[in-house]
Structure 1
């Protein structure tokens, strides 16, 4: 792995460029005192959280030889060893696990009111509990900010207070950190075990941030760096066929696709090698039959027959709703795409709160399981 992508500013970094931050002083021993890190303050928009021991570049020998970054380095000012690795562009900490594993950035995009925040909250909860146990995976937050943000903005209001989550605020007015998790899994291959891991980066993009092609630089870099993408679509918006054209699913998907093409500088007409999962949310509000009426069979593999049946049923729904252009566009632009139906809550909410039946997720894991299969972390069976 010769380079990585910073999960905060999404800059592509040669491994030998990864910097360090002094461990600082514990109060008695040697170590550098905190000082304002202007680059970090510019990223966070606040100087309050950017007073830290100093950043320093990797040792010159590492940069000269180009053999990747060491796990530790001595601070050139105080001489103390440190293992705190840092992005040289934005000066955010790079979790050690992120530097050592094949990071996969999964972009999550949807129009306003498509249920992005609720989907993230429930998906991560399921990965930590039911789905984690089923697949034999472990999901661990890579930094303290991810732990705090998930508890504050997602878990506590939805699972603790049973309140619906508000619409995602625009990153232009409310800067926020991505959620960065290490997902590990032991895969049994014939007579041996293979430990596999990837870093899951979720950055919940607000619908209004993608209403025009004049998106912020951060969103541009985020989408250009994505290894896979999950589009969330409100089926009621598709069925109505009306509303604001800027917020229509086909237009938002087209804008994101354009950014993905620009970020990869692909020849005209070549399909994107980025797997795209398009999920209809809130399907509990629709009369359903066939594959979408059945729960996914619990197994530590992807049921390819079920996957194909759901894909074809959602595809048929799109054409029934006169939205077949969405399927045609995806088949033209993406080498691999999948259609899904999910429900994060599993029931209709009541006056801003979770319904009386509680949170009963339905197939929320399907898009991610398909992506894990695309990444080679999950077998497919028929």
Structure 2
């Protein structure tokens, strides 16, 4: 049976043979040229209503190029057979990993994702000898104008993510190509992975029905990053640094409930009604850790930066994991640990701070600027589990 691929834009699955093509609308050698036209599938599935080249199928989309049957020009634009989005270059040839990033309302997920990707493009990417580049023009433009521009250049926290309604099937993920440079780990050829992030609204995780409607990508995710806000936990909320702006409680779901609903959704998606542990690795990330630094012991691993080097340090990661597990008892989060222990085969705790300091009361970055702490650890752990990033230390 042919392996199935998951589209990084709509998260539906298909075989490589089913991949379609879109005409480039260039003038062909024989003098014919296709006229751009509206694509009703792309409009309905992704909300894109412009005119593009006509779609065609060859019966075998494994080839990198195909001749348009109307004009004869050769096209390299391969498209998803379900949503008609243009697939990344070398899709199906590269390692393909879908990373689902989820979190409840006001958990800081959008800020975290922005800083994570910025760090991989810059400081941490240089340390690892890695690169992160947008796989399409839409990702490049949206990440720069809607995410980096707001947070890094304007110093303003983003407003809440748009909530998808029942009649809105649009999925607007950010799709990147992650490359690990040539060197002693992988020989002379660099390794590349396709990473797809869907910044869904936190409200979409406030009920079982909205999860099933808006986040089908969870079912096909290779790894999950779950963002939880300790400031929404009663035990931690009482310990925060004086002056910290606390999240409101209106419409905010408890962190444990967000995990419960994601777990139920993954269990419901099992093929054949299996009853074993969930095999999808999940990184459980407690954000906004800067508000709780004063309560940590001097020797806490959460007070130290990760070891330098170009490998993921598993020993350091396990130390952080055990420290967060200990803190969950203080934060009244033991049910979270029980859920993970009884339902997941691979999970890891992380403590991060995307900004380094609490934002101001008017939702601006603190005057000290953005000083991220351990934001890349969760993604690097997942990539190390896939074998995409080298690691060292005890496993």
Same fold (TM over 0.5): yes
Deviates more, 1:252-261 or 1:113-122: 252-261
Alpha-carbon distance in structure 2 between the residues aligned to 1:158 and 1:216? 28
Relative to structure 1, the CA distance from residue 101 to residue 36 in structure 2 (aligned partners, 3 Å threshold; closer, same or farther) is: same
1:196 CA displacement: 1.6
Alpha-carbon distance in structure 2 between the residues aligned to 1:192 and 1:354? 42
1:273 CA displacement: 1.1
1:256 CA displacement: 1.3
Partner of 2:55: 55
1:211 CA displacement: 1.1
Alpha-carbon distance in structure 1 between the residues aligned to 2:80 and 2:354? 34
Q: 2:308 pairs with 286, 295, 298, which one?
A: 298
Partner of 1:356: 367
Alpha-carbon distance in structure 1 between the residues aligned to 2:91 and 2:357? 36
Deviates more, 1:14-23 or 1:264-273: 264-273
Counterparts of residues 44-193 of structure 1 (less than 5 Å) = 44-47=46-49, 49=50, 51-57=51-57, 59-60=58-59, 62=60, 69-172=62-165, 175-186=170-181, 188-189=183-184, 192-193=187-188
Could you say what secondary structure the match of 1:177 adopts?
coil
Structure 2: gaps of 5 or more residues: 238-248
Give the TM-score taking structure 1 as reference length: 0.91
Alpha-carbon distance in structure 2 between the residues aligned to 1:267 and 1:27? 52
Relative to structure 1, the CA distance from residue 191 to residue 338 in structure 2 (aligned partners, 3 Å threshold; closer, same or farther) is: closer
Residues 109, 232 of structure 1: 8 Å contact kept: yes
Residues 230, 331 of structure 2: 8 Å contact kept: no
Could you say what secondary structure the match of 2:305 adopts?
coil
Counterparts of residues 29-44 of structure 1 (less than 5 Å) = 29-44=31-46
Aligned-pair Cα RMSD in Å: 2.3
1:261 CA displacement: 2.4
Alpha-carbon distance in structure 2 between the residues aligned to 1:220 and 1:353? 30
Deviates more, 1:188-197 or 1:74-83: 188-197
* CA offset digits 1:20-64 (Å, max 9, x no partner): 0011035995321011110011023352x2x1110011x24x3xx
Residues 246, 252 of structure 1: 8 Å contact kept: no
Relative to structure 1, the CA distance from residue 190 to residue 117 in structure 2 (aligned partners, 3 Å threshold; closer, same or farther) is: closer
Alpha-carbon distance in structure 1 between the residues aligned to 2:186 and 2:113? 36
Partner of 2:283: 277
Could you say what secondary structure the match of 1:340 adopts?
strand
Q: 2:376 pairs with 365, 372, 380, which one?
A: 365
1:257 aligns with 2:263: yes
Q: Aligned residue pairs: how many?
A: 373
Residues 98, 142 of structure 1: 8 Å contact kept: no
Deviates more, 1:141-150 or 1:90-99: 90-99
Q: 1:248 pairs with 241, 254, 263, which one?
A: 254
* CA offset digits 1:145-171 (Å, max 9, x no partner): 101110121000111111111121212
Partner of 2:234: 239
Partner of 2:16: 15
1:217 CA displacement: 5.7
Deviates more, 1:33-42 or 1:20-29: 20-29
1:24 aligns with 2:25: yes
1:303 CA displacement: 1.5
Relative to structure 1, the CA distance from residue 27 to residue 69 in structure 2 (aligned partners, 3 Å threshold; closer, same or farther) is: closer
Deviates more, 1:7-16 or 1:172-181: 172-181
Relative to structure 1, the CA distance from residue 154 to residue 256 in structure 2 (aligned partners, 3 Å threshold; closer, same or farther) is: same
